[in-house]
A and B are shown apart, each in its own frame.
Chain A
Amino acid sequence: MNEAATPWRRLFRVLVTVGPGGLWLLVFVLIPTLLVLVASFLTRGPYGELSGPWGLHNYAKLLQPAYLEAFAQSLLVGVLATLLSALMGYPLAFYIARHPRRDLLLFLLLLPFLTNFLIRVYAWLVLLQREGLVNALLGAFGVGPFTLYPSFFAVLLATVYTFLPFFVLPVYASVERLDWQLLEAAYDLGAKPFRAFLHAVLPQTYPGLFAGSVLVFIPAMGTFVVADLLGAGRVVLIGNLIQQQFGLTRDWAFGAALSVFLMGFVLLALYLYARLQGERGLDELV
């Protein structure tokens, strides 16, 4: 720091740089988060407004079977979407990283991602509907037609489609940094390809693998749009319940409790991730 900087000057500099953004985060991030927490202990008034009495009743309501089923489905979408992304994205990251034209392949990976999120989801509706392309193709082989939409399957497929690059990019970054000499050493020591991969390559990609998993799992279980458009009422996730409470049902207090619950899941996932990766890992997520 400048020798001449007096405490006042220092204070002024901090206020000018951190002040506006910090104030913004306090007003638009901290206060709203606290409001959700407070609202979750309130009650829905006769006109759908928030009112007393205070209590834990919204959290007790979470234990009803219909809501528990929504949590189970969200969790299932999150886990399955992460597994499918790994199945598709992990080998792809290796292919891209070792390809002579990897710039182009990365470009092609990101291109569908730049089209609007809703369009990407909607495209699956077009493909999977009863008179859609998939059924038309199956029909050519004399199979079907099947009701692929609305369904859990459709929701899962579109979720993977939407978040796949989130998985591929961190793994790709890991593969790029990979020390291939370890693999050669494993071979020299007589390891078979599978064992060599397991011990010399896989552990080196753990950072990307963990980061990719968190980046797919959190939005996959938190989204409501995919289930809304492709589940059409048959697939109800936590996000859909939240949207209902703030929409037609107008029970903001219960919606707030659902939000707190969903946040709990997210924080749990992040906590596990931080345990595996260390504090620094959080910065690598961005």
Chain B
Amino acid sequence: MKRLLSLHALLVYLFLYLPILVIVALSFNESRRGVRFTGFTLDWYRALFQDPRVLEYFLNTLTVAFVSTLVATLLGTLLAVGLVRYRFPGKGFLRYLLYIPVVVPDVVMGVSLLLLFALAREVLGFPRLSLLTVILGHITFQVAFVTLVVRSRLLLLDPALEEAARDLGARGWQTFWYVTLPLAWPGVAAGALLALTLSLDDFVVTFFTAGPGATTLPLYIYSSVKLGVSPKVHALSTLIIGLGAFFLALGYALGRRRV
């Protein structure tokens, strides 16, 4: 039984890694087509780095990710604090609203934002589909995730700590700044990291809200796959895989040290 379970696990891990290994191998393959390895080359990486568009798409991706994560973390953290600490009319409704971006398929999310931007352009004359609309779209799904992550952290906190601060004479904002926020910090960091990952990975919402000049790396990968792949995409993918592995390993190492 135990041996069967190990064999099963081995096969699943093989299933998980085979596609990735093939992409990495192909990025160093001389031949343009097929999977026969004809010789080692770094040409595709060279071509990738010499393509100025790729740099532009990379910078677009980073701009969207950082701006949206910053705004979403701020809004989401405040919202989580408000939801946990206060009672107010419409609170139940707000909580349901929070689940919509989490459960709605991203196609529906994308087209609903597209409708919003189209209507706004009709009525107000802006915004044009651009990096700005992509950022607005990303913030929208990020806020929901950040709020839920921070909220679950806040619910774990001992309310006595805040009461103690108040009993000792701390004002409302002092309690928040010196007690609540430091205690909630791991939740805020986890929420921000999740938001960043979601933004970097997002294709669908970007696809519906991006206009000309707002191409991100996922959009670029999509269109090159659609047009017939150039091995440059293998090189780009390998770099992204490497970067992902690096950050996950970093988080893993930091997590171990804390324990």
Contact residues of A with B, CB < 8 Å? 2, 5, 9-10, 13-14, 16-18, 20-22, 24-33, 35-36, 39, 88-89, 91-92, 94-96, 103, 105, 107-112, 114-120, 122-127, 131-133, 136, 161, 164, 193, 218-219, 221-225, 229, 239, 242-243, 246, 252, 255-256, 259, 262-263, 266, 270, 282-283, 285-286
A124 to B23, CA, bound (A): 10
Residues of A within 8 A of B79 (CB): 17-18, 20-22
Task: Flag if A35 contacts B248 (CB, 8 Å).
Answer: no
Residues of B within 8 A of A131 (CB): 33-35
Q: How far is the CB of A234 from chain B (nearest CB, A)?
A: 15
The closest CB in chain B to the CB of A158 belongs to: B19
B43 at interface by CB-CB < 8 Å: no
Task: Flag if B119 contacts A35 (CB, 8 Å).
Answer: yes
Q: How far is the CB of B146 from chain A (nearest CB, A)?
A: 9
Binding stretch for chain A, among B50-58, B124-132, B216-224: B216-224
Per the 8 Å Cβ criterion, residues 234-257 of B in contact with A are: 237, 240-241, 244-245, 247-249, 252, 256
Task: Flag if B143 contacts A24 (CB, 8 Å).
Answer: yes
Query: A123 and B19 in contact (CB under 8 A), knowing A2-B166, A32-B113?
Result: yes
Chain A to chain B contacts (Cβ below 8 Å), 26 pairs: A14-B88, A17-B81, A28-B136, A39-B115, A92-B12, A95-B5, A95-B6, A95-B8, A108-B13, A112-B17, A114-B247, A116-B217, A117-B201, A118-B222, A118-B225, A120-B19, A123-B22, A126-B26, A133-B22, A161-B15, A224-B107, A239-B105, A242-B107, A242-B108, A266-B105, A285-B102
Pick the 4 closest A-B CB pairs, nearest first.
Answer: A222-B105, A17-B82, A21-B79, A123-B19
B62 at interface by CB-CB < 8 Å: no
Task: Flag if B112 contacts A36 (CB, 8 Å).
Answer: yes
The closest CB in chain B to the CB of A99 belongs to: B9
Query: A122 and B237 in contact (CB under 8 A), knowing A25-B143, A88-B15, A92-B9?
Result: yes
A27 to B140, CA, bound (A): 10
Contact with A along B96-124 (1 / 0, CB 8 A): 01111111111110011111100100000
Query: A127 and B22 in contact (CB under 8 A), knowing A24-B140, A161-B16?
Result: yes
B229 at interface by CB-CB < 8 Å: yes
Q: How far is the CB of A82 from chain B (nearest CB, A)?
A: 15
Per the 8 Å Cβ criterion, residues 173-224 of B in contact with A are: 197, 200-201, 203-204, 208, 217-218, 221-222
Query: A35 and B116 in contact (CB under 8 A), knowing A18-B94, A263-B104?
Result: yes
A72 to B105, CA, bound (A): 17
Query: A95 and B222 in contact (CB under 8 A), knowing A16-B78, A266-B103?
Result: no
Residues of B within 8 A of A115 (CB): 20, 237, 240-241, 244
Q: How far is the CB of A135 from chain B (nearest CB, A)?
A: 9
A25 to B90, CA, bound (A): 13
Most buried by B among A116, A161, A259: A116
Q: How far is the CB of B74 from chain A (nearest CB, A)?
A: 8
A85 to B18, CA, bound (A): 17
B145 at interface by CB-CB < 8 Å: yes
Task: Flag if B97 contacts A31 (CB, 8 Å).
Answer: no
Task: Flag if A252 contacts B22 (CB, 8 Å).
Answer: no
Task: Flag if B23 contacts A126 (CB, 8 Å).
Answer: yes
The closest CB in chain A to the CB of B155 belongs to: A283
Residues of A within 8 A of B136 (CB): 28
Query: What class of interface size applies to chain B in its complex with A?
Result: 35 or more
Task: Flag if A36 contacts B115 (CB, 8 Å).
Answer: yes
Task: Flag if A125 contacts B225 (CB, 8 Å).
Answer: yes
Looking at the complex, which one of A16, A118, A122, A252 makes contact with B115 (CB distance below 8 Å)? A252
A243 to B116, CA, bound (A): 16
Task: Flag if A114 contacts B245 (CB, 8 Å).
Answer: yes
Residues of A within 8 A of B64 (CB): none
Task: Flag if A117 contacts B114 (CB, 8 Å).
Answer: no
Q: How far is the CB of A42 from chain B (nearest CB, A)?
A: 11
Residues of B within 8 A of A33 (CB): 100, 112
Looking at the complex, which one of A14, A22, A122, A243 makes contact with B107 (CB distance below 8 Å)? A243
Task: Flag if B111 contacts A246 (CB, 8 Å).
Answer: yes
* Given A20-B75, A28-B140, A114-B244, 4 other A-B residues pairs in contact with their CB atoms under 8 A: A10-B86, A28-B113, A117-B218, A193-B1
Residues of A within 8 A of B244 (CB): 111, 114-115
The closest CB in chain B to the CB of A35 belongs to: B115
Residues of A within 8 A of B69 (CB): none
